[in-house]
Structure 1
């Protein structure tokens, strides 16, 4: 395949060689598994998805999805695996950066938060025995 077909020189790529923890990511994760989120900008293939040309629109701004998982790219960039149910695109699950997402649930509680609350209630109950 011709290199011109796979690479658009006008598409700016992330410099993964010199990447350090992005200034855009919070120190602790901002979103949690199961949380409803909205895309703040169009997501285009930056080269990390091998089955589409670089620069291909992957998901449109304003799409609503749910955090399916969270991981790191090159051990420095937090990436959220987001499932956009019924999206009018070729893909439903894509990786998103923290700054590309906005929470749709102000009162969302992570599993850790729920576990802490349950343990606190349990300790209070047991201290009254």
Structure 2
């Protein structure tokens, strides 16, 4: 069997999938795993389809990129993995700067 697990993937071999300021959408409901202060473990932080903007890019376990996404409507910044996000539209930083 060819089962892919998160532990088998090393994203840091390439560049981040998303850029600072890029608008993204949550592909899943995201629950507090205990790392989000002020919310109960298991409480939904972000619902599938919620949109936000990448405000930080970090790493986790020298393996994954973690994107800090500001979900403005929810009033919170949530750390998310690439597989939990989708680009809302192609990022055009160069085009926006030229205008």
Q: Which has the higher contact order (CA 8 A, sep 6+)?
A: 2
Tell me which interval the TM-score lies in, with the shorter structure as reference length: 0.7 to 0.9
Evaluate the alpha carbon distance shift between residue 35 and residue 77 of structure 1 in structure 2; reply closer, same or farther with a 3 A threshold: same
* Alpha-carbon distance, 1:53 to partner: 2.5
Could you report, residue by residue, the CA deviation over 1:75-123 in whole angstroms, capped at 9, with x for unpaired residues?
A: 3331100011122xxx4211111001000122x145xxx4xxxxxxxxx
Tell me if 1:101 matches 2:88: no
Selected match of 2:33 from 35, 46, 59 = 46
1:67 and 2:35 matched: no
TM-score normalized with structure 2 length:
0.74
Number of equivalenced pairs? 89
Q: Whose strand proportion is higher, 1 or 2?
A: 2
Structure of larger gyration radius: 1
Q: Point out where structure 1 has 5 or more consecutive residues left out of the alignment.
A: 1-18, 115-129
Q: Which residue matches 2:71?
A: 84
The runs of at least 4 aligned residues of structure 1 exceeding 4 Å deviation read none
TM-score normalised by the chain length of structure 1: 0.59
* 2:32–2:43 CA contact under 8 A, matched in 1: yes
RMSD of the TM alignment (CA)? 2.4
